[in-house]
Amino acid sequence: MGLSSFLIPILSILLLTHYQLVFTESTQPPYSCDSSNPTTRSYPFCNPKLPIAQRAKDLVSRLTLDEKLSQLVNTAPSIPRLGIPSYQWWSEALHGVANAGPGIRFNGTIKSATSFPQVILTAASFDPNLWYQISKAIGTEARGVYNAGQAEGMTFWAPNINIFRDPRWGRGQETPGEDPLVTAKYAVAYVRGLQGDSLQGGRLGERLQASACCKHFTAYDLDHWKGLDRFVFNARVTLQDLADTYQPPFQSCILQGRASGIMCAYNRVNGVPNCADFNLLTGTARNKWNFHGYITSDCGAVSIIHEEQGYAKTAEDAIADVLKAGMDVECGDYITKHGKSAVSQKKVPIYQIDRALQNLFSIRIRLGLFDGNPSKLLFGMIGASQVCSKQHLQLALDAARNGIVLLKNNKALLPLPKTNPSISLAVIGPNANASSLAVLGNYFGSPCKLVTLLQGFQHYAKNTIYHRGCDDGTQCASAQINQAVEVAKKVDYVVLVMGLDQSQERESNDRDQLDLPGKQQELINSIAEASKRPVILVLLSGGPVDITFAKFDNKIGGILWAGYPGELGGLALAQIIFGDHNPGGRLPITWYPKDFIRVPMTDMRMRADPSSGYPGRTYRFYTGPKVYEFGYGLSYSKYSYEFVSVAKNNIHLNQSSTHLMVENSETIRYKLVSDLSEETCQSMSVSITLGVTNHGSMMGKHPVLLFMRQAKQRNGNPVKQLVGFQSVKLDAGEKSQVGFEISPCEHLSTANEAGLKVVEEGSYILIAGEEEYPLNIIT
């Protein structure tokens, strides 16, 4: 079922109004190098036939020192004498084009843009093609907003590809979760879609539809916890954890995604501020990973290097540190205030300023902003009609439906009967009729047509009663428990919509607890006890919640996690609960028990330390109890797997020198990945064909997750590791096959304590559901 019949008339009116506005209020977007202007026409930087680097160098050579310094901040002013308009580097598009930054305005012909589910829910689909289609739609809408004259820039500061390391992190909702492989593949899909590349990559030339910026580089995952904030936090990270957890998403973002932007994070890593780390920005990103793009600071990150971290003795030193490290543009005004004195004090050489400016203007040229009238260029035909289009709204609906995770379905309580017109339904809870803060998450724009969860249920059950349950939203310090219980007693079915919102988890606010806030649990238990049938619990949240009480309560028959499901999340959830869509989402994060809060959020170690009782983090290393595992998710169908074929059981590594290490009196042979050529790694790849069968009576879209573990667990190595995933659509009773290509260098390697990737000799086990298959590596 697609966009429901009740939504079509609303969309028709919306789109008709949209088209009429476009026709009557068209506005010209800002651009340089007007062909009708004889003054600028002769400049080499306006000649599209010249190489971009040459054009950027010519432009920078024409600027005065004051003009140069003025362009090193996110709000770059115009340069009238050269015909260059102002430019805003800061725009947001985390899960839809948003006016959360100053670069986008919804005050003209375009009043809104498609608001897709928050990233953590979209990630639960484990579907890179869906991720790509979403980012492609966002890139199209971004160009449409620009072409309508409502954008001062086309550089969008997304995606957020930090690892969701700690369940309390307020910004974990913005990320694809805790797994480096998932996060890396999300980064690549998002960047390719937004910038105008193909799904498989390779189509993108020099021209950009829009510019993506992977953030926050690096090891940033604490905002404000117990009085310690991100501005002064010094993340102590081992080389081992950097190599196999924190850095891989950024490496993929640059190497495979070809991102045109990076944002350096506020925090320090091992004492050095990220934005002042030459080894990170230049040594790693530019030299090792061959990054060609611009690097921005997070907002205010330059000033805090001096004023809060005390790393730089003066403001001028802070500016010198970041420019020397390789940063190109500051979000803020510290360079505006102190840049000239930094130059006069000879702390900042002009060549570093010129390098930064050449990187910045190269991006603006790649965006087509120096090629004359953009309406006549590559992306000039993208109009307002492609913003909030029916196709994009359908995509938002699909994303929510395919991400929502069914956590419990006792005695097949779900789906509810939709054929009985007299069914009565109570929808109770602080998130049941909430609007943007509960449904959209953070960094959202103005949605095209928001459908609340209550509206979605009302479409299916005409006899729907709503009660908010809590007096003060999700805080739930005060609850109308007796009134809610009376409502629940009168109806056939009860859906409780509980969880979190942005008052609980957000930027600058990490959680202190992992259980439900206030009196939510008491409200749930009271209603479940009084209801005629087992109740259905729906949780909205970005981070995990300890609902162990509900997991084992037979009076709570169904549990669904809906993340922050976007503007059509209300429709998506109702379609799942009433059986018009078969749920298939799987958790992209581990759900920890509430006593995990005893682990300091500041401890960046991924690996468990049994000697101190430290349990480790994420499914790869965590050794403690779990409420729900990473990758957990039920369906209305039962699926089974079968290893149909594996190209080879034994993998021989003979092409390089073998190293030895001793652990517990056992000698372990291993190879350094850096010693193996790319050709050697490719030749050792193993092709795997996995059979998947849908044993249910409904068609379903099912994520297939392939894990690996070592037959003999060794210290510091993952408990298990995701090595591949695909989403497959299967009709009722259908069997299909999916293929995986496993490279020992990439998928079976681990990082040693020196941060070097190694492949160890020994037995490995491939895992798909309950099926296992052995592989042996022989050196």
Token pair listed for 642: 């079968």
Collapsing DSSP to helix, strand or coil, 594 comes out as helix
Token pair listed for 169: 């992190």
Which residues fall within 8 angstroms of residue 736, CB to CB, at 6 or more apart? 691, 692, 728, 730
What are the angstrom distances between the C-alpha of 402 and each of 334, 720, 728?
Answer: 44, 25, 11
Q: How far apart are CA 537 and CA 733, in angstroms?
A: 29
Known catalytic residue at 298: yes
- Find how far residue 527's CA is from the centre of its chain: 35
C-beta of residue 246 within 8 angstroms of C-beta of residue 222: no
Look up tokens 């609007």; give the residue: 435
**Listed residue (248, 230, 369, 212) closest to 308, CA to CA:** 230
Which residues fall within 8 angstroms of residue 539, CB to CB, at 6 or more apart? 498, 499, 545, 547, 559, 560, 561, 562
602 secondary structure, DSSP code = T
Which residues fall within 8 angstroms of residue 285, CB to CB, at 6 or more apart? 217, 250, 254, 262, 291, 295, 326
Q: How far apart are CA 261 and CA 255, in angstroms?
A: 12
C-beta of residue 504 within 8 angstroms of C-beta of residue 476: no
Token pair listed for 620: 């790869």
35 secondary structure, DSSP code = T
Token pair listed for 26: 């068209």
79 secondary structure, DSSP code = B
C-beta of residue 330 within 8 angstroms of C-beta of residue 302: yes
Which residues fall within 8 angstroms of residue 473, CB to CB, at 6 or more apart? 430, 434, 501, 503
Task: Please state, as a whole number, how many other Cβ atoms lie within 10 Å of the Cβ of residue 22.
Answer: 18
Strand 686-694 versus strand 762-768 pairing type: unpaired
Q: How far apart are CA 488 and CA 533, in angstroms?
A: 10
φ/ψ of 247, rounded to 5, equals -90, -30
C-beta of residue 479 within 8 angstroms of C-beta of residue 522: yes
Amino acid at 715: N
Q: Bridge partners of 535? A: 556
Token pair listed for 647: 């190209």
| DSSP 3-state percent helix, strand, coil across the chain (nearest 5) | 35, 20, 45
Q: How far apart are CA 560 and CA 628, in angstroms?
A: 12
Collapsing DSSP to helix, strand or coil, 310 comes out as coil
Token pair listed for 374: 């953009």
Look up tokens 């996995």; give the residue: 690
Collapsing DSSP to helix, strand or coil, 452 comes out as coil
Look up tokens 């994060």; give the residue: 589
543 secondary structure, DSSP code = S
Instruction: Report DSSP letters for 697-711, one per residue.
Output: SS-EEEEEEEEEEES
C-beta of residue 118 within 8 angstroms of C-beta of residue 440: yes
C-beta of residue 422 within 8 angstroms of C-beta of residue 462: no
Q: How far apart are CA 353 and CA 372, in angstroms?
A: 26
List 223, 241, 244, 298, catalytic entry? 298
- Return the H-helix or E-strand segment holding 273: strand 272-273
Task: Please state, as a whole number, how many other Cβ atoms lie within 10 Å of the Cβ of residue 76.
Answer: 22
Residues with catalytic roles: 298
